[in-house]
Amino acid sequence: MADYFADYYWKKGVPQGIGLCDPVKGISYKIVTDPYHKRYTIEIYESGVFFELAYDSFLLDFRKLTPVEQTAWQREAIHTTPDETTNVIRNIDDRIIVIETIRYVDHLSRECIIHSPHQVLLAKQVMFYEKLQDPFNGVILYDRYDKPVMVKVYSLDEKGEFAELLEEYRDMSKLPAKFGGK
């Protein structure tokens, strides 16, 4: 029988349960994987009844959000305005894997909403800039329930855009407070 958890966090792109709980009491999360750990889902239950999927690695596998995996990905703009750009992201097979909508504030990308090709919300990225009084220069990737998945800290180039990756956090149980950790 599967375990039900009171909450969850992300570690290296894999969901981790926090606090075993009785699924019939309030909100609970069930983390499901196959025997080979190829696919993960997070199911949400309300008072013991299935509510919805919080995550499915079949749609977007957070474990594959690494430079090596993304090398063959291609971005193609399909809609552009001064305030936002919508792109399709294709994998090495030329298959659309996600649609991203990047929103700009004062010509800086501040948010990227990530949907499946079926328009299911999968995740979002929030961009931070010290020149805008943010605590750091970088990006936090959140799942669709605003749980941080990873944090990347960058240096900025002369144009004020992200340049060199300085730090990367993929274990959200050890996330420093300035990035939203405890």
What lies within 8 Å, CB to CB, of 131 at 6+ separation is 160
Task: Give the H or E element holding residue 105.
Answer: strand 96-105
Per the prediction, the chain carries an average pLDDT of: 95
Distance CA 141, CA 20 (A): 26
Q: Are 160 and 108 in contact (CB under 8 A)?
A: yes
Burial class (CB in 10 A: 0-12, 13-18, 19+), 65: middle
49-56/74-80 β-pairing: unpaired
Give me the residues paired with residue 172 across strands.
none
Per-residue pLDDT of the chain (182 residues; tens, 9 = 90+): 689 999 999 999 999 999 999 999 999 999 999 999 999 999 999 999 999 999 999 999 999 998 887 888 999 999 999 999 999 999 989 999 999 999 999 899 999 999 999 999 999 999 999 999 999 999 999 999 999 999 999 999 999 899 999 999 999 999 898 888 87
pTM over 0.75: yes
Strands 27-33, 84-90: pairing kind: unpaired
What pLDDT shows up at residue 1?
66
Convert the pLDDT of each residue in 16-54 to its tens digit: 999 999 999 999 999 999 999 999 999 999 999 999 999
